[in-house]
Amino acid sequence: MKVNGVSYRSIWLAEDGRRVEIIDQTRLPHEFVVAELSTLAQTSDAIRHMLVRGAPLIGATAAYGFYLGLHDRADDQALEQIAGTLRACRPTAVNLRWAVQRMMAVLTPLPPSERIGAARAEANAICEEDVATNKSIGNHGAGLLREIWEGKGGREPVNILTHCNAGWLATVDWGTALAPVFRAHLDGIPVHVWVDETRPRNQGAHLTAWELVSAGIDHHLIVDNSGGHLMQHGQVDICIVGTDRTAASGDVCNKIGTYLKALAAFDNQVPFYVALPGSTIDWSIRDGLGEIPIEERSQNEVLYVQGLHEGRVEQVRIAPAGTAAANPAFDVTPARLVTGLITERGICGANRDSLLALYPEQA
Ligand code: MRU
């Protein structure tokens, strides 16, 4: 996607081929900063501290973590250590485990001398596939938006509500939930996005809004509690969100607060879609609520907010000293509340049979 007219991905190999460059997402929307990763430690810090975030991008970054880490040592023990370090960075997004497994499957059979080159090639391949996958999600999802637009007589914009950031910054490019929005916009379908601010880290306000401004797409930022009211008043045509882990049953785990939006959508007969690449499906899990590990993050993310004040990015405390906070970062939306899953292979129902019809190799 373009930033000030220049095409960017969220991660890429630097020109010297030895370092990896990322957009530091903790600095957006007020500063656009490219950060360099040249070691495994820098890579795991970038994932843990959310310079990169979003399930697909976490996976792609972990893949490059192998490439960077293997420059120190490339024997079997080093490989296991790299895998362990990366896996421990964040627990919920299954793409991290998926990427680590994929890299291990490619690298383990090779002699150490061939591992660095192979890691680089496989990480590059994961990125290229991610872009193609998300573009395809965009094409499938844009069909839904076109139907809604035509159903409204082709005169009014389609109102989409989204939560967190599942745009291009959360992937290598295009995004998942926002890919249909970008595609529709490019195809001339008028769209308007309700952007949940997404406390505590405000990925909606900081990242989704920034992406939409950059793309010239009409949107309004709303507080997390507005969605139900807007749905009751017919101002939301469709909800589209991303997912960090999708159970084989169709339960989806996404940024905290997604479940409440799904409940409100269900109560108001607003279609609730989840956009995801196949790499986000955890085929080993049948009960999302009972089995998906939920990341618990620092209470400071709740107790403080970050913003621009007199030209400087600052953090301010919003609760009294002595107040403790709880910060579960994700929640699970049961499949019964999900209208459909938008994947790179097409749109399907949120249930095991429909998913298997799209991914028969997992049967
Ligand atoms: O904690 P984050 O910012 O990594 O959470 C991201 C989300 O919840 C996204 O919605 C999800 O990863 C899907 S991204 C395409």
pLDDT at 331: 98
pTM confidence score: 0.98
Alpha-carbon distance of 108 to 215, in angstroms, equals 42
Distance 312 CA to ligand 1 centre (A): 26
Q: Report CA(128)–ligand 1 centroid distance (Å).
A: 20
The three-point CA angle 181-186-187 to 5° equals 95
Please give the pLDDT value at position 166: 98
Based on the domain organization, do 153 and 45 belong to the same domain?
Answer: no
Confidence label for 279 from pLDDT (cuts 50, 70 and 90): very high
Confidence of residue 157 (pLDDT cuts 50, 70, 90): very high
Residue nearest to atom 8 of ligand 1 (CA): 255
Question: Which CATH number is 24's domain given?
Answer: 1.20.120.420
204 lines ligand 1 (CB under 6 A): no
Per-residue pLDDT tens over the stretch 160-192 = 999 999 999 999 999 999 999 999 999 999 999
Q: Identify the H or E element spanning 306.
A: strand 304-309
CB atoms within 10 A of CB 317: 11
Give the domain range for residue 303: 136-362
The predicted pLDDT at position 98 comes to: 97
> How many domains is the chain partitioned into structurally?
2
Does one domain contain both 113 and 149? no
Does one domain contain both 47 and 144?
A: no
> Do 223 and 341 belong to one domain?
yes
Q: Final residue of a domain: which of 128, 149, 164?
A: 128
How long, in residues, is the chain? 363
- Domain end residue (candidates: 68, 93, 128): 128
Angle 3-254-249 (CA atoms, 0-180°, nearest 5)? Answer: 130
| Atom in ligand 1 nearest the alpha carbon of residue 255 | 8
Domain limit, last residue, from 97, 128, 159: 128
Mutate-to-test residue for ligand 1 from 164, 274, 332, highest number of ligand atoms within 8 A of CB: 164
Same structural domain, 100 and 147: no
User: What value, to the nearest 5°, has the Cα angle with vertex 279 and ends 272 and 42?
Assistant: 110
Confidence of residue 230 (pLDDT cuts 50, 70, 90): very high
Does the Cβ of 164 fall within 6 Å of ligand 1?
A: yes
What average pLDDT does the structure give for the chain? 98
Residues 6+ apart with CB under 8 A from 342: 137, 140, 141, 144, 176, 180, 240, 273, 274, 275, 276
Grade residue 28 by pLDDT with cuts at 50, 70 and 90.
very high
Q: Ligand 1 in contact with 53 (CB < 6 A)?
A: yes
- Give the model's pLDDT for residue 80: 98
> What's residue 6's pLDDT?
94
What CATH number should be reported for the domain holding residue 162?
3.40.50.10470
- For the Cβ of 243 lying below 6 angstroms from any atom of ligand 1, the answer is yes
What span, in angstroms and rounded, lies between the C-alpha atoms of 162 and 176? 11
- Cα 276 to Cα 133: distance, rounded to the nearest angstrom: 9
The mean pLDDT value for 86-97 works out to 97
Q: How far apart are CA 276 and CA 177, in angstroms?
A: 8
Asked if residue 329 has its Cβ within 6 Å of ligand 1, the reply is yes
Nearest to 51 by CA among 66, 36, 71: 36
196, 244, 251, 282: the active-site residue: 244
d(CA 203, ligand 1 centre) in Å: 9
- Please tell me the distance between residue 280's alpha carbon and the centre of ligand 1 in angstroms: 11
Per-residue model confidence (pLDDT) at position 170: 98
Does ligand 1 come within 6 angstroms of the Cβ of 275? no
Taking residues 33-37, what's their average pLDDT? 98
Based on the fold, state whether residues 143 and 288 are members of the same structural domain.
Answer: yes
pLDDT digits (tens, 9 = 90+) for 105-145: 999 999 999 999 999 999 999 999 999 999 999 999 999 99
The torsion angles phi and psi of 123, rounded to 5 degrees, stand at -65, -45
Together in a domain, 147 and 111 = no
Residue 293 DSSP one-character state = P
Ligand 1 centroid–CA 33 distance in Å is 20
Whether residues 100 and 182 share a domain: the answer is no
Q: Let me know whether 106 and 152 are in one domain.
A: no
Instruction: Place 263 in a pLDDT band, splitting at 50, 70 and 90.
Output: very high
Pocket of ligand 1 contains residue 196 by CB under 6 Å? no
Give 60's pLDDT tier (boundaries 50, 70, 90). Answer: very high
Q: Are 4 and 165 in contact (CB under 8 A)?
A: no
DSSP 8-state class, residue 195? E
In this prediction, residue 334 carries a pLDDT of 98
- Told to judge if 287 belongs to the known catalytic residues of this protein, a careful annotator would answer no
| Whole-number Å distance between alpha carbons of 280 and 252 | 10
Mean pLDDT of 39-67: 98
Give me the numbers of helices (H) and strands (E) for the chain, helices first please.
13, 18
